[in-house]
Chain A
């Protein structure tokens, strides 16, 4: 690979890649990340074998991509330039796809996406796709994440080159501030203000950290971004590092994400050999080095001070703030921590400008948000929509509604720190503030749909069990508060609850919320409070019926 020495080299390199591009080649984009679980690799191999057998190399090219979003149809593939989408393909379908679809342009009905009995062969017509706005996910599912050239062909690293050659640190931060970008890791803190704080702290060593711990059960957005477009995250980190004056970065990835780690390793290697990471990048006096840190299985390590402790090789226990990481982070040095999706938003802000970015979204929340849509919904998968989209649009228009003859009951947002949004709020435009008002949080983007057969008390119990198990035990309110609340919830789901239990729960919730050391304890009671707020009748029914519902404790959560 060529080593880029000056910023101009990047655009020249891109031109040389464009010259090699052959528009007449049919390209088959197949997801080999999430879809691996349902045989995508075997299908891909079958295509490659067939291409060799029929000597079609040069005419047909396989592109192994990250998540294409419509995971429910896994393994999925898109055929370009035809624009055809196929799902649930197997090895045996391969010869037919080549002979009929690619060579004759015919559509194979059984592989098409269908909705309300109608087959929809073309990507552009599938509501799941046409109703989304892909900014962060624009490359995810349409490039090979293991090939930096494909990222560069999509204007990759151009934003960074622009920043490096024509912008001061202050200007970069102003641009981010003006864009209105807020952290996607849960709390929605303005990214520009965070960067500015770290920039202003004196110190020759500063760290730039990407939080890819994604421990929130039911969330897989960060996994998809890291697997499907790792360079976007690296480029975002580079721009941030330049702005705050950092030379060293870490990406902290959850232990359960082996493919993300694999793709990140490749991406970092390739960026290094092209000269986009390392010393004196593109001939400037800016240097930046990036390492991967693998988590070891602890949810609380997603909390920033715990994450710092974990990077330092310690037990991942949070500590009180202040001092904030901005002044005292890794090894006591100024440290900036952002979420994966936050970083992935950065390049496009510089490519298209903060004014363009700002025009998307609502008054208080700009840009788009990626949601991991799961649970009792037809189209489970990954969706990106502008802030301000309603829950109804996400669940029904994009998600295709509730399977079977069941009804929508609630969506759980923000995982164990969040709450449920019931049917009466389906038309609520989703942004950081509105979601909070109704008692949930935006969180990282997990959105679990529940139908009318789901027991909300059981869901509250489930989340409390999770928090209790993941509580690091350092502070008493969280350690004991979660345990006691779990005891009560378990009692209620077993049909052994009493009338007083609800009051007791609320009281415990309040104490745990106000007295806990970190976000884990402070938010652990949210699912309880939100289910009491909207589904008090379910609690009361269980308490009144005493014993008759005892089977709901472990099984079945969703009655058949």
Chain B
């Protein structure tokens, strides 16, 4: 749950704020209860939470940046860094664990040269673990974007990764 956070001020490209402002405009009068939904929409729009969008949120919602960072770093769904085009979620839940998820994880690292929580250099894949996808009958399972891949073997995993 706890992410090492590096707040880089320089060198981080500022993103175009059109989408960000459109989201904030939909939430005029938003209170702190809307912060998480707004961050979720922001992440949907940009794929991650760029620094300058957070500054916009601070200004428009009058919530201190430190509070916003506090929320972002608490929830594993949020990312402060650009993410890959495809997100691989590998289930590490109990059912998947006893059916060989550790081998699948090793295979992914072997094929993509990244560990859990990392993104490939070409920004093609972001790889993250998730505790139970709720499809334990398919164990071991992974999800790439919105698609499930069940009853995985190491060969199958390699084949699937290469098909992207």
Contact = CB atoms under 8 A, between A and B. Distances in A.
A37 B141 contact: yes
Given A296-B40, A296-B78, A37 B136 contact: no
Given A37-B138, A310-B36, A412-B94, A315 B148 contact: no
B136 A380 contact: yes
Interface string B25-52: 0000001111111011000000000000
Given A313-B33, A459-B98, A473 B2 contact: yes
B132 A216 contact: yes
A215 B135 contact: no
B132 to A, nearest CB: 4
Given A313-B33, A316-B74, A462 B135 contact: no
A311 B33 CA distance: 6
A375 B94 contact: yes
B146 A316 contact: no
A336 B47 CA distance: 35
Contact of A313 (B32, B134, B138, B150): B32
A472 B73 CA distance: 11
A256 B133 contact: yes
Contacts of B131: 215, 217, 299, 466, 470
B94 A446 contact: yes
Contacts of B2: 473
Given A217-B93, A462-B97, A556-B102, A313 B71 contact: yes
A314 B76 CA distance: 14
B95 to A, nearest CB: 4
Interface string B74-100: 111110000000000100111101111
A556 B100 CA distance: 7
A316 B94 contact: no
Given A71-B137, A313-B35, A258 B40 contact: no
Given A37-B135, A316-B75, A298 B1 contact: yes
Contact of B137 (A315, A374, A472): A374
Contact of A256 (B34, B78, B134): B134
Interface string B125-164: 0000011111111110100001011100000000000000
A409 to B, nearest CB: 11
Given A214-B134, A220-B135, A462-B94, A298 B75 contact: yes
A415 to B, nearest CB: 7
A176 to B, nearest CB: 28
A415 B150 CA distance: 21
Interface string A249-292: 00000011110000000000000000000000000000000000
Contacts of A293: 36-37
A380 B99 CA distance: 13
Q: Which of B31, B70, B98, B135 has the most CB of A within 10 A?
A: B98
Contacts of B35: 313
Nearest to A255: B77
A556 B135 contact: no
Contacts of B32: 312-314
B106 interface: yes
A330 B36 CA distance: 15
A258 B150 contact: no
B103 interface: yes
Given A37-B150, A415-B94, A446-B94, A218 B136 contact: yes
A450 interface: yes
Contact of A220 (B70, B76, B97, B132): B132
Contacts of A232: none
Contact of A470 (B1, B71, B77, B149): B1
Contacts of A448: 94-95, 98, 136
A369 interface: no
A219 interface: yes
Interface residues of B, number: 45
B103 A555 contact: yes
Contacts of A312: 32-33
B95 A218 contact: yes
Nearest to B63: A313
Interface string A453-469: 01000010011001001
B134 A257 contact: yes
Contact of A557 (B89, B102, B149): B102
Contacts of A300: 1
Most buried by A among B33, B34, B92, B148: B33
A38 interface: yes
Contacts of B94: 217-218, 374-375, 412, 415, 446, 448, 459, 462-463
A372 B70 CA distance: 35
Given A34-B137, A220-B136, A313-B35, A375 B98 contact: yes
A329 to B, nearest CB: 13
Contact of B1 (A71, A219, A372, A469): A469
A72 B151 CA distance: 10
A296 B77 contact: yes
A173 B130 CA distance: 39
Contacts of B93: 217-218
A33 to B, nearest CB: 10
Contacts of B106: 554-555
A519 to B, nearest CB: 16
The CB with the most chain B CB atoms within 10 A, among A71, A217, A454, is that of A217
Contacts of B78: 296
A309 to B, nearest CB: 10
Given A311-B33, A372-B136, A450 B1 contact: no
Ordered nearest first, which 5 A-B pairs have the shortest CB separation?
A37-B148, A217-B93, A71-B137, A296-B75, A374-B136
Interface of B: 1-2, 31-37, 39-40, 70-71, 74-78, 89, 92-95, 97-100, 102-103, 106, 130-139, 141, 146, 148-150
Interface of A: 34, 36-38, 71-72, 74, 214-220, 223, 255-258, 293-300, 310-317, 372, 374-376, 380-381, 412, 415, 446, 448, 450, 454, 459, 462-463, 466, 469-473, 554-558
7 contacts: A74-B138, A215-B132, A217-B92, A218-B95, A219-B132, A298-B1, A462-B97
